[in-house]
Structure 1
Amino acid sequence: MLYQLFETQRALMSPFSEFASASAKLYSHPLSPFAHSPMSQRVSAGLDLMHRLAKDYEKPEFGIRGVEVDGVEVAVQELIPITKPFCRLLRFKRYTDDPAVLLKMKDQPTVLVVAPLSGHHSTLLRDTVRQLLKDHKVFITDWTDARMVPLEVGAFHLDDYISYVQDFIRHVGPDCHVISVCQPTVPVLAAISLMASAGEQTPRSMTMMGGPIDARKSPTAVNNLAMNRSYSWFENNVIYRVPTNFPAAGRAVYPGFLQHTGFVAMNPDRHLTSHYDYFLDLMRGDDDSADSHRQFYDEYNAVLDMPAEYYLDTIRVVFQDFSLVNGTWDVNGQRVRPQDITGTALLTIEGELDDISGAGQTRAAHGLCSGIAADHQFHYDAIGAGHYGIFAGRRWRDNVYPEVKSFILKYDRPDALSQSSSSSTPAPRNSRSKKSA
């Protein structure tokens, strides 16, 4: 019922949002007589802000058309090698006419980025992908909004998520390097563990960034909510049926609008200040700052519905039973044993100011992956970085990415794990950051 009420409210607000947008342009366009009236900038700024607060935000595009490789601008095209009901595997194919650069790109490492299925679209990792493309062949998981998947397709559980990841790794090939950001650190570790237990070849390396491997360590507000509420509370309070105006009518989901409400509620003052600053930027004519605000909130406000089964499985396995760290997690009848991983190097990354995955939660992977030699395990603390700062923005580009790039390059050889890393560990790029085995 709540979902239907939200959709009704959204439909009612849509014409007002469009009217506000048109009126804002009427009071700001230089050829409009209204633009020269007193208070026109203030009126235009207020109407523009009203439009953005009331509008519906669609899934953004990655929009990566080209990147610079070795000083040469190369074209980038999105390809879809695999399509599954709840996810597409995207490949960012690079093209150039420069023979030297083409030869270099063919020899660069292949990276599979597993994006989170936790509210936002995979385009949230646009900056991650753009930076990686400079030195790597890049694939990424692009999760589908559950309200767009017809009910007859069936349910989607956490076990299905793990199977998807395994299928993508097999497609990309065992020579790849897997990067998981936030939520997928747990299912990615499970996927690779199960492959190792089955005797399959595993990726050359896995990089885990800001994820709840052990949510008991330094619990954040997000962790506390998941741990302190009962499983039945989540079933009864955050799960709703998709309304009839979507392909997945009747599917049980955790709606995106509820998730967005939770995101905003974590830092309401920050968002209020940001919107007020946007209003002031419009009044001052500061187009660069206003565009920066629009770009951020076009991404931040675009959310997707999560399948109820997957979401509830995650609550139970990761935040209530702690099945991975307790060694009690069975996936499709097979026990998850991270200690069976021996042929994959490990890098964990945490942000000093991360308020979603607390300190030590991602680093806990090292204690579980006891089969990986100590000199092939690394940890990096990004000083001054919050949750988003470890995979987007200046700190990602200047501090975190050089560490990831160096780590991947180090293990992009079949014999890399057979050699000791004690004499060739890449030095931290930021002297204030810490890295240890």
Structure 2
Amino acid sequence: MFYQLYELNHAALAPFRAGAEALRFVAGNPLNPLSQTVLGRTLTASLEVFERATRRYAKPAFGLTETVVDGEEIVVVEEVAWSKPFCNLLHFKRDLPEGRPLDQRILLVAPMSGHYATLLRGTVEALLPYADIYITDWVDARMVPVTEGNFDLDDYIDYVIEMLHQLGAGAHVIGVCQPSVPVLAAIAVMEKRGDPALPASMILMGGPIDTRKNPTAVNKLAKEHSLDWFRDNVIMTVPFPQPGFMRPVYPGFLQLSGFMSMNLDRHVVAHREFFEHLVKHDGESAERHRDFYDEYLAVMDLTEEFYLQTVDTVFIRHALPQGEMLHRGVPVNTAAIRHVALMTVEGENDDISGLGQTEAAHAICPNVPDALRLHYVQPDVGHYGVFNGSRFRREIAPRIVEFTRLHGGARQAEKPAAKPRPARKRTPKKPG
């Protein structure tokens, strides 16, 4: 019922949003003398803040149409390389010169935790000059008819394995945040089977491998409630007339509310500053705000079975680090991983996946040779900074590129656009 009320509230505000947008156009029109006054700019700013605060944000586009390879601008075409009801595998195909040596193939597994894969636009953009990039574009559960069946954590792992088959042996896989657990599980399943499509390396970034280490507010919330509590309080049914009508889901707007409440003061300040930038005609600062929140406020629903199974497996029972995780009823044995290089990346100030949670992957993969391991902690960044932003581009992305080249099987470009910095371990400050 709550989901239906949310939809009704959104529909009820639609005429007011339309009116605010029309009035903003009139008040801010350069032909209107008031638009050049403080009063006019204040009115225009107020109307825009209202419209943006009450709208539903659509799924953003990646919008990556070019990159620079070997010092030259190269056209990039986004295409669907593989498709299933709950996910499309996007390929950013670069129009490289004929006969140029191949770069590494990288499967970037985006989080399925409320936001769209476009949250990793900066990640893709930073790696495109050096690699052939594929990314998981998860489908909003409320857009998938119930006739397509369920989608749970086991299905997620199977999807990752199928996509690695699509890329072929010797590729690389990067799990960002939530996917770290199913990616690690998928590699363990593939190693145990002797799968010929085994990747050359896996990079796990800011992921909840073992949430018992340095638990954050998110981890504590999961431990304080039973699985039945989550089922009774956060699972809702998709309302009519959405394609997924009657599908039980964890709504994206609930996940967004949880994330925003963790740093509510920061978001309030950001919107106040946005208002001030509009009044002062600081267009550049206002546009940065729009770009960030257009992405951050665009959310998607998760299927009930995937959400509850993830909460239970990862946050309540800690099944993977305790050796109790199952895939299709068969134990997931991470000790079986011997041939896949392992890199873990953490942010010093991460308030979603605390320090040590991702590094725990090394402890539960004891048979990965030391020569195939690397752990890196990026100072002065939070969760978002692990995969986006200036420090990611300057410090983390070059290390990922170097790691994949060191342990990759694909042919390399003879003249890379920029030489990545050597990978090295950074010692983090003590938390707290």
TM range (shorter): over 0.9
Q: 2:337 is matched with which residue: 341, 352, 367?
A: 341
Aligned to 2:171: 176
Please tell me whether the aligned partners of residues 157 and 186 of structure 2 are also in contact (alpha carbons under 8 angstroms): yes
- Cα distance in 2 for partners of 1:251, 1:220 equals 31
Partner of residue 148 from structure 2, selected from 148, 153, 163 = 153
Match for residue 241 of structure 2 among 225, 238, 245 = 245
Identity %: 45
Is residue 2:298 matched to residue 1:267? no
> Once the two structures are superposed, what CA deviation does each residue of 1:192-238 show, in whole Å capped at 9, x if it has no partner?
10011111132100000000000100000011111211110000000
AA aligned opposite 1:69: V
- Could you tell me which residue of structure 2 aligns to residue 420 of structure 1? none
| Bigger shift: residues 219-228 or 13-22 | 13-22
- Name the SS of the counterpart of 1:227 in structure 2: helix
Residue 78 (structure 1) shift: 0.8
1:27 Cα deviation after fit: 1.3
Letter aligned with residue 175 of structure 2: S
Matched, 1:389 2:385: yes
1:30-53 per-residue CA deviation (whole Å, 9 max, x = no partner) reads 112442566101111111111110
Task: Report if aligned partners of 1:194, 1:334 keep a CA contact under 8 Å in 2.
Answer: no
Equivalent position of 2:90 in the other structure: 90
Q: Once the two structures are superposed, what CA deviation does each residue of 1:86-118 show, in whole Å capped at 9, x if it has no partner?
A: 00001000114xx4xx544x4210000000000
1: distance between equivalents of 2:380 and 2:206? 14
Deviation at 1:81? 1.4
Tell me, what secondary structure is at the counterpart of 2:174? Answer: strand
Tell me by how many angstroms 1:55 deviates. Answer: 1.1
SS where residue 61 of structure 2 aligns? Answer: coil
TM normalised by structure 2 equals 0.94
Letter in 1 for 2:18: E
Kept in 1: contact 2:249–2:302 (CA 8 A): yes
Matched, 1:190 2:185: yes
Equivalent residue for 1:374, pick from 365, 370, 380: 370
Secondary structure in 2 matching 1:319: helix
The match for 2:416 is: none
Indicate the SS of the match to 1:175: coil
Deviation at 1:433, TM superposition (A): 6.9
Match of 2:398 among 386, 396, 402: 402
Aligned partner (choices 306, 309, 322) of residue 305 of structure 2:
309
Distance 1:284 1:388 in 2: 29
RMSD value, Cα:
1.8
Query: Does structure 1 retain, via aligned residues, the 8 Å contact 2:403–2:423?
Result: no
Contact kept in structure 2, 1:158 and 1:314, CA below 8 Å = yes
CA contact (8 A) 2:201 2:341 kept: yes
Quick check: 1:210–1:349 contact (8 Å CA) kept in 2? Answer: yes
> Could you say which residue in structure 2 is the equivalent of 1:129?
124
Contact 2:114 2:300 in 1 (8 A): yes
Q: Which runs of 5+ in 1 are unaligned?
A: 416-424
Return the alpha-carbon distance in structure 1 between the equivalents of residues 168 and 308 of structure 2: 31
Q: Which amino acid aligns with 1:318?
A: V
What is the distance in 2 between the residues matched to 1:248 and 1:280? 40
**Aligned residue number for residue 14 of structure 1:** 14
* Counterpart-to-counterpart distance in 2, 1:149 and 1:246: 9
- Deviation of the 1:371 alpha carbon: 1.5
Question: What's the counterpart of residue 229 of structure 1?
Answer: 225
Letter in 2 for 1:334: V
Supply the distance in 1 between the matched residues of 2:421 and 2:407 (Cα, whole angstroms).
12
SS of residue matched to 2:42: helix
Match of 1:66 in 2: 66
* Higher mean displacement: 350-359 or 404-413: 404-413
Q: What secondary structure sits across from 1:326 in the alignment? A: coil
Look up the equivalent residue of 2:385 and give its one-letter code. G
CA distance in 2 between partners of 1:302 and 1:316 (Å): 26
The answer to whether the aligner puts 1:351 opposite 2:347 as a matched pair is: yes
Return the offset for 1:25. 2.1
Q: Does the aligned pair in 1 maintain the 2:104–2:410 contact within 8 Å? A: no
Q: Distance in 2 between matches of 1:159 and 1:38?
A: 57
Closer, same or farther: CA 35–336 of 1 in aligned 2, 3 Å: same
**8 A Cα contact 2:215 2:354, kept in partner:** yes
Q: CA deviation at 1:329?
A: 1.3
Structure 2 gaps of 5+ residues are 412-419
Q: Deviations over 1:220-274 (max 9, x none)?
A: 0011111211110000000000001101100000001111111110100000000
Alpha-carbon distance between aligned partners in 1 of 2:358 and 2:193, rounded to the nearest angstrom: 25
Partner residue in 2 for 1:421 = none
Give, in whole Å, the separation in 2 of the partners of 1:8 and 1:413: 54
